[in-house]
Amino acid sequence: MAALAVVAAAGLLVDDRVLVGAPIWLKPFKFAVSFAVYGLTMAWMLSRLATPSRTARWAAHTVVVAGLAEMAIITGQTIRGRRSHFNTETPLDRGLFATMGVTIAVLWVATLVIAVLLFRARPGDRAATWAIRLGLLIALAGLLLGGLMVMPTPDQEAAGTLRNALGAHSVGVPDGGPAMPLTGWNTTGGDLRIPHFVGMHALQALPLFLYGIEALAGRFIRLRDERVRLRLVLVAAGGAAALLALLTWQALRGQALIHPDGATLGALAALAAATAAGTYGALRRPARAVGNRTGHGTSAPPAATSGEIPRSPDAAQESPA
């Protein structure tokens, strides 16, 4: 996928074709980068299983094969100058689009299997374990939201069997209108790619958030307590899930991300206030001194000053500071 991203980046430079209002190689580039990050994250999560099982290996291989099949179709359609998504103009286009739907469904099930394995195991201390588990759950929800894009639009329903497309990214406006730089998200109507993106990348965001907390633990004693880190992870996961719901609601109402109305801004303000209150509560509650075995009232050093999330509940105490 990293190599394909380089090829697609070269295509952006040398191929001036435009498809549905965007450079034709932009979609292969974005998907290749996304799959590369997704694969690295899943590999890292699986590496934290104490005893990798045959089921885990098969699930990982399934993710790889599904991703390769998806990218083969996207790249092939790009070379042909055809849309890969929502295209039902010809029997070949319909067949390829249907195949992409199957590959994504298979990838989702394989990811669910990995999530189940990580819920049955304990891939770190409590904060790390729940950062991984909740990141996976929100990512699964974000992937599932992609199904909203294949629902026929009102114009497509009116066209009946004569339609040449099924589904769309945009809500309330046609695909291919004015868009944000780089992301290509619609600026005049709703865009279902936004919650899809935010949900999927909770997979990386929550573990990275925990790494950030642990990096600060050397300066802030309260963050050295595993219970405090766990509470902060739970607040962050709740905020991410609420943001996913808010962005989905905004998109389904045909509202552009950068043009929120009063209801959206009010909901966002409430979410920000709730997250701030949750963070304050997580930090305000007294934290037990970690590793205070000498009776001098001192706290132990941070659980992972090197930035690595502990693999077991005892790793924080065994860390050499």
Q: DSSP letters of 53-111?
A: -HHHHHHHHHHHHHHHHHHHHHHHHHHHT--SSSB-SSHHHHHHHHHHHHHHHHHHHHH
Contact between residue 201 and residue 191 where contact means Cβ atoms under 8 Å apart: no
Vertex 106, ends 4 and 120: CA angle to 5°?
110
Is residue 315 predicted with pLDDT exceeding 50? no
User: What is the band of 110 on the pLDDT scale with cuts at 50, 70, 90?
Assistant: very high
**CA Rg value for the chain:** 22
**pLDDT, tens only, 128-155:** 999 999 999 999 999 999 999 999 998 8
What average pLDDT does this structure show over 61-74? 97
Task: Give the burial class of 34: count Cβ atoms within 10 A of its Cβ; 0-12 exposed, 13-18 middle, 19 or more buried.
Answer: middle
pLDDT for 156: 86
Distance between CA atoms of residues 7 and 2, nearest Å: 9
User: What is the band of 288 on the pLDDT scale with cuts at 50, 70, 90?
Assistant: low
Distance between CA atoms of residues 260 and 146, nearest Å: 22
**pLDDT, tens only, 116-129:** 999 999 888 999 99
Is residue 293 predicted with pLDDT exceeding 80? no
Is residue 249 predicted with pLDDT exceeding 90? yes
User: What is the band of 161 on the pLDDT scale with cuts at 50, 70, 90?
Assistant: low
pLDDT for 182: 84
